[in-house]
Amino acid sequence: MTVLPIVIAPDARLKTRSQPVTQITPDIHQLMDDMLDTMYAARGIGLSAVQVGVLKRIIVVDTEWRESEDGKPAERKPIRMINPEIIGETEDLNLYTEGCLSFPGQYSEVERPEAVRVRYLDEHGKEQVIEADGLLATCIQHEIDHMNGVVFVDHLSRVKRDVILRKVQKARKMQELPEYPVDLG
């Protein structure tokens, strides 16, 4: 198990567009495994490669996993996506309270399409299409945004965005960092 440092805002990498994966190599497989280890260790439900400092179009999500209460391994149902793209979305919108591992401890309501259709390559290079709704749709959209240099606070008013950024910067200065490893940029 390898837990990678998570890039914390503000960091220029979070505003940079990620590059497509052109070849699925053992290094890409290892990166996805490490991203899942990192996401679970940080108690997240989604992670984009840029959040661990790799500017590749890769995301991992698992909106169903839960920590076990009896000491046994938690049930996990990870989805690994390479070069995901939204190819359809509903006009109906959902409002979710979103957080982000790159903005530790910060949450705000974000409105996004209720359901999406996403095309991607799986870890074996096979093209897949998934139709997602609810929390899974929100999570996938959030992570795809990361690959495009968009973070969840970009969906908020300027006032709310500035408040969250100030709180994250203050926590960094005060060394009030989350339990998981972070990259202090």
Q: Is residue 102 part of a domain?
A: yes
Count of domains for the chain:
1
DSSP tag of 170: H
pLDDT at residue 47 in the model: 98
Q: Is residue 185 part of a domain?
A: no
Assign 87 a pLDDT band (cuts: 50, 70, 90).
Answer: very high
pLDDT at residue 126 in the model: 97
Q: Is residue 150 part of a domain?
A: yes
pLDDT at residue 176 in the model: 57
The whole-angstrom separation of Cα 114 and Cα 107 is 19
**For strand 182-183 and strand 6-7, is the pairing parallel, antiparallel, or unpaired?**
parallel
- Selecting among 127, 131, 143, 176, the annotated active-site residue is 143
Q: Is residue 182 part of a domain?
A: no
Mark whether 143 is an active-site residue. Answer: yes
- What is the pTM for the complete model shown? 0.89
Residue type for 71, please? G
Q: Torsion angle of alpha carbons 26, 28, 30, 36, nearest 10°?
A: -150
CATH of the domain at 95: 3.90.45.10
Domain that holds residue 90: 6-176
Q: Is residue 54 part of a domain?
A: yes
